[in-house]
Amino acid sequence: MKRHIVKELTERCLDCDQAIWVSGYQNTHRYVGYDAKLCRYCDIWLDSTCPDPICQYCSRRPKRPSLIPYADLVVD
């Protein structure tokens, strides 16, 4: 089972001054994910995607953080 995991960072969003988070997934044996920072309040990714069309992180990242397909949100 995959769980979406976000972790709060000490950085602040320049648009809304709320905390910035980092996004990923955890399954039973390893940690995989989008490896990207986001603002949960603005619902935007703060890291741009890379140019590699088969990147395991960027190619699967939804357009907005709220569109992450796994609803089980765990805040570490």
Residues 47-74: tens digit of each pLDDT: 999 899 888 778 888 899 888 766 545 5
Question: 6: closest CA among 43, 42, 33?
Answer: 33
Compute the distance between CA of residue 16 and CA of residue 70 in angstroms, rounded to an integer: 25
The overall pTM is greater than 0.85 = no
Structure confidence at residue 17 as a pLDDT band (50, 70, 90): very high
pLDDT surpassing 90 at residue 13: yes
pLDDT at 75: 55
State the average pLDDT over residues 13-22. Answer: 93
pLDDT at 20: 92
